[in-house]
Structure 1
Amino acid sequence: MSRVAVIMRSKNEMPYLPEAIASLRRQTFKDIELFAVDSGSTDGSLDILRNTINPEHLICIPPESYLPGKVLNDMSARATQEFIVFQNADAIFQSEDALEKLLRPLFDGEADAVMSAQVTRSDARFIITYDYLRAYDPKNIKGDNADFFSAVTCAFRRDLWQKIKFPEKGYAEDVAWAHECRAQGARFKLAADSVVEHSHNYTLKELYRKKFRHGLRFAHTYGRRTNLFSQTMELCKEWARDLFYALRKGRPDTIPYNIAYRAVIHTALYRGLKEGSRG
């Protein structure tokens, strides 16, 4: 039996799914077994998965039943391998040894869970690329951001998951899981040399929904609270930082959207935190 299970989550992942699978097949580390869960694809993604994966390892669920934490737990329960890898079906490994570099800290006993670094696609908005550069800078994964962990492409010991399951209510389940695992002594690591390409140009409405859910999670998991003054001050600080970065990079054309983007994030976080703090 393979030592490593690779689990893909898919819903309408075209045009990225074929290259994501191809990038997995090109990996120098071959001792894997591939699983996938599809939650209602209508763009041909499911046909590709059916032609790629052992039918016993492909699970189809209706879109309305998709809850991230529950899906991660259900699929992890199906895999009996010692190590589990999550690779989003639109996440593309950027080198042939990226999977090996992701797994190496687990094999060497240096960590219990590891995540890959992410870079944005060529069509990503300027401000999104900037946020990714900051998010995956090891110097920034500390303090209030110490629990930052992305399940887009990550690996962990199965026995860690058996001890601590992903929360099945709400979103930002990967960060909440990392918080609980770290609280119980688990070691998390960023494999900065294991890189995947993955990003989304969310509409402002989609961005609001995502960050509102994050606000709920931060209130429930960390007991984080906010008020209008502190949230506004944080927004102004980030506006200034974004402005100087855009000017330094010679991209003043991005400033109007950058302002709207950051305002939506902080408005959504503020409202999510306020609602979450009410229980």
Structure 2
Amino acid sequence: MKPIPDSITLVMRSYNEAWAIEDTLKAVCEQDYTGQIELIVIDSGSTDGSHEIIRNYKPKEFIILEPGTYVPGKVLNQGFRLAQNEWVVFLNSDATPDNAQWLKQLLQAAVNTPRLGAAFSRQIPRNDCQAVFAHDYDRCFGPHRESDQWEHFFSMVSCVARKSVWKEYPIREDLQYAEDDEWTRRMKDAGYETLLVVESVVMHSHNYTPAQSYKRAKGDALAVAQAGNVPETSLSWPLGVVLPAVKDSIKDFKYCLKQRRLNEVLHAFRVRYQQRLGRIDGYKEGMSDG
């Protein structure tokens, strides 16, 4: 087993997440890791007091973007460029390490993976997470996760990659969504591996409204289509929206029944419908642009 690096760079993206960033930074400082952590924070113009919290942790680089200028690929590439270390960890400011082993477990798995593209952490939802989204985290990261059967799955929320590999495969800067999906697909096509490290755990979740769910799903699907990665699926309303939304909702019903949260079933269906509608609309728009 290879030793973990004695120096890493941690790049954190933030925007109006003062409610979480203190806990996240504190958890980073309390990791069972004796090496040096170079902290780089790139903030998208927060106005909620985040800047004062960040400065208290004395980052090596603290960059504040002009409001409205955030482009994920540009920010991620900037983080890589600024990093003084070979191993670069990315951690969202609202993704709080669940224990003191988060970083060590992530690094241990990464250094012992030949031809690593990127390794990423397991995510667990916060206590206030609505059932439909908690179910998604279970499907993606749970002990019986569906993601193991998916053609591709990756999340940039908490991950590690090598700067030397990034130099060969920089992240696209023309995508507003799903840039991490396209990036890791490209690396996998070149023979690099992406790895889910279930022992490395962060707490992270969002409660989106149905309208926000539509916007998010459409943005992801649009980016996927622009990258030429549209899966084989029906683009019709009955087969591409209604039928999958119903199938998703049946799974949600079983989850809610098991968790004793049946009062959230109707909300789950509204979210699933908007997600499926957004996905189809995004695919269509992205394919027509091409």
TM-score by length of 2: 0.90
The match for 2:239 among 230, 249, 266 is 230
Query: Partners of 1:98 and 1:180 in 2: how far apart?
Result: 27
Query: Partners of 1:204 and 1:53 in 2: how far apart?
Result: 39
Is 1:257 paired with 2:263?
no
Cα pair 1:19 1:92 within 8 Å, conserved:
yes
Q: What residue in structure 1 maps to residue 26 of structure 2?
A: 22
Q: What residue in structure 2 maps to residue 61 of structure 1?
A: 65
Query: Partners of 1:15 and 1:115 in 2: how far apart?
Result: 24
- Residues 130-168 of structure 1: CA deviation (Å, up to 9, x unaligned): 11010114753345x332111110001111111101111
Query: Partners of 1:168 and 1:108 in 2: how far apart?
Result: 30
Cα pair 2:171 2:180 within 8 Å, conserved:
yes
Q: What residue in structure 1 maps to residue 7 of structure 2?
A: 3
In structure 2, the residue corresponding to 1:141 is in which secondary structure?
helix
With 228-237 and 154-163 compared, the bigger mean Cα shift is at: 228-237
In structure 1, the residue corresponding to 2:284 is in which secondary structure?
helix
What stretches of structure 1 of length at least 5 have no aligned partner? Answer: none
CA RMSD of aligned residues (A): 1.7
Query: Partners of 2:77 and 2:34 in 1: how far apart?
Result: 24
Cα pair 1:216 1:275 within 8 Å, conserved:
yes
The match for 2:107 among 99, 103, 115 is 103
Query: Partners of 1:146 and 1:48 in 2: how far apart?
Result: 40
Q: What residue in structure 2 maps to residue 196 of structure 1?
A: 202
Tell me which amino acid in the other structure corresponds to 1:85. V
Provide runs of 4+ in structure 1 moved above 4 Å. Answer: none
The match for 1:266 among 268, 271, 276 is 276
Aligned length: 277
Tell me which amino acid in the other structure corresponds to 2:147. I
TM-score by length of 1: 0.94
Query: Partners of 2:140 and 2:48 in 1: how far apart?
Result: 31
Change (3 A) 1:158 1:61: same
- Residues 179-204 of structure 1: CA deviation (Å, up to 9, x unaligned): 11101111111000100001111222
Query: Partners of 2:117 and 2:170 in 1: how far apart?
Result: 14
Query: Partners of 2:182 and 2:76 in 1: how far apart?
Result: 13
Q: What residue in structure 1 maps to residue 163 of structure 2?
A: 158
Is 1:46 paired with 2:51?
yes
In structure 2, the residue corresponding to 1:85 is in which secondary structure?
strand
In structure 1, the residue corresponding to 2:160 is in which secondary structure?
strand
Query: Partners of 1:252 and 1:215 in 2: how far apart?
Result: 30
Tell me which amino acid in the other structure corresponds to 2:178. A
Cα pair 2:209 2:271 within 8 Å, conserved:
no
How far residue 3 of structure 1 moved from its aligned partner, in angstroms, is 2.7
Cα pair 2:9 2:39 within 8 Å, conserved:
yes
The match for 1:210 among 184, 207, 216 is 216
Q: What residue in structure 2 maps to residue 173 of structure 1?
A: 179
Change (3 A) 1:83 1:146: farther
Tell me which amino acid in the other structure corresponds to 2:146. N
Cα pair 1:2 1:81 within 8 Å, conserved:
no
Q: What residue in structure 2 maps to residue 88 of structure 1?
A: 92
In structure 1, the residue corresponding to 2:19 is in which secondary structure?
coil
How far residue 109 of structure 1 moved from its aligned partner, in angstroms, is 3.6
